[in-house]
Amino acid sequence: MEEKLLEINHLKSYFFTRKGVSPAVDDVSLAVPKGKIVGIVGESGCGKSMTAKSIMDLLKYPGRIVEGEILLDGKDLTKLSARERRRVRGEDVSMIFQEPMTSLNPVVKVGKQVREAILTHQKVDRAEAKRRVLEVFRQVGISEPEKRYECYPHELSGGLRQRVMIAMAMVCRPKLMIADEPTTALDVTIEAQILKLIKTLCETTGMSCLLISHNLGVIAQMCDYVYVMYAGKIVEQGDVFTLFDHPRHPYTQGLLASIIHLDEQRERLSTIPGMVPNLMHLPEGCAFCNRCGQAMDCCRTKKPELYDLGGGHAFRCFLPGESEASHA
């Protein structure tokens, strides 16, 4: 097995609201190998963004990490002091967000915002910092970097802003970049460009990437290894080929079935019935049981464990072996 850069073990991040405790991230374990792109996929509200925010220590009150470890190069981030944790942010791990429109400070020039990342972590003078910013701007494909440096965010298009965000995430040469739905807010043509950019950057710099998306197409295109999340838990994991060719969990199967295939003639679009359950009122058994077409009695009373199929493929269900046959 290749060397792991990031390893999360049994991470639990809960939100403590007045109405009750909401387990946004419930016993999640995952790993990101060096130089690889790992994807987390799931519907909105399944806890994928919260997992990313837990890694970055950006959970907002009333949310916090309850237990578990986040190992970066073998060092547990949850044990670090606030100061050390801050040094890791931006320097070793950086993050790009979903909304390039709102993720940049509207009243500060974009060049300055990127330069700030360097000045925070490295002892260089402003001129040198600016030189490096321009270099990274070129690297992420921003034309006329000198001119863009002086622009305010509202003067740039969505695609350019996301490039600025990537530049900001890249500028300190981090080991890991977390991309939380980096292209959801963009046009399809721009989406393809940005995804290609991220992939190229990972390949050329040896950086790892944790890519979060609800879009299976994006995941299939980009990732080496995939985790499927549902209601705060990982329900299936595996390398991208195995997972897409032989999905085992009924939820993954449902997700894949709901992709529109233009070459197929179908009466209706396939959907997963029902909605994502409220995390505060999860069913007693499997969180998916109320929407699952194959739910059995035990699904409603007991929580399924992760069932290892070997080769890194695992899924959380009581239906080992049978489900594939019934759905083939």
Partner 1 sequence: MLKSIGKRVLQTLVVLFCVSLLIFILLRIIPGDAITTMMGEHANAETIERLTKEMNLDKPFYVQFASYLRDICTGNFGSSYTLNKPVTELISAAFPNTVMLAVFAALIAWVIGMVCGIIAAVRKDGILDRLFMGFSLLGVSIPVFMVAMLLQYLVGYRLHWVDISGVKNWTGFILPAIALGWNSAGSIARLTRSTLVEVLQEDYIDTAKAKGLGQGAVLLLHALRNAMLPVITMMALQISSLLSGAVITETIFSINGVGRLAVDAITSRDIPLLQGTVLFTTVIVIVGNLIADCLYTVLDPRIRKGA
Partner 2 sequence: MPKKSNPLQDDFRTEMAAEREALAAQLGESDTFGDKMRRLASDNKLAVFSGILIVIFILMAVFAPLLTPYDFDEMDLMARLAPPSAKHLLGTDELGRDVLTRLLYGARVSLAVGVIPTVFSMLIGVVLGMVSGYVGGMTDAVIMRLADVVLSFPSLLLAMVIMYTLGDGITSIFIALAITNWASVARVVRSETLSLRETEYVEAARSMGVKDMVIIFRHILPNCIPSLIVLFTLNVPSAILSESSLSFLGIGVQLPKSSWGLMVNMGRTYLYNAPWLSLVPSAAIMLVVLAFNFLGDGLRDVLDPHLKNS
Compute the least distance from the CB of residue 279 to partner 2, in Å: 10
Q: Under the criterion CB under 8 A, does residue 108 sit at the interface with partner 2? A: no
Q: Under the criterion CB under 8 A, does residue 161 sit at the interface with partner 1? A: no
Q: Under the criterion CB under 8 A, does residue 44 sit at the interface with partner 2? A: no
Q: What are phi and psi of 13, to 5 degrees?
A: -120, 120
158 Cβ neighbours under 8 A, 6+ residues apart = 100, 101, 185, 186, 187, 190
161 vs 291, beta carbon nearer partner 2:
291
Yes or no: say if 303 and 285 are a contact pair by the CB < 8 Å rule.
yes
232 vs 304, beta carbon nearer partner 2:
232
Give the contact letters, 6-45, x = binds to partner 1 (CB under 8 A), - = no: ----------------------------------------
Yes or no: say if 115 and 133 are a contact pair by the CB < 8 Å rule.
yes
Q: Under the criterion CB under 8 A, does residue 157 sit at the interface with partner 1? A: no
Q: Give residue for tokens 């759905």.
A: 327
Q: Under the criterion CB under 8 A, does residue 89 sit at the interface with partner 1? A: yes
137 Cβ neighbours under 8 A, 6+ residues apart = 114, 145, 148, 149, 163, 164, 167
Yes or no: say if 205 and 20 are a contact pair by the CB < 8 Å rule.
no
Q: Which does 88 bind (CB under 5 to 8 A by kind): partner 2, partner 1, none?
A: partner 1
Closest CA to 280 of 14, 32, 88, 23: 23
Compute the least distance from the CB of residue 283 to partner 2, in Å: 14
Among 44, 143, 278, 326, binds partner 2 (CB under 8 A): 278
Q: Which does 268 bind (CB under 5 to 8 A by kind): partner 2, partner 1, none?
A: none
Chain contacts with partner 2 (rule: CB under 8 A): 19, 275, 278
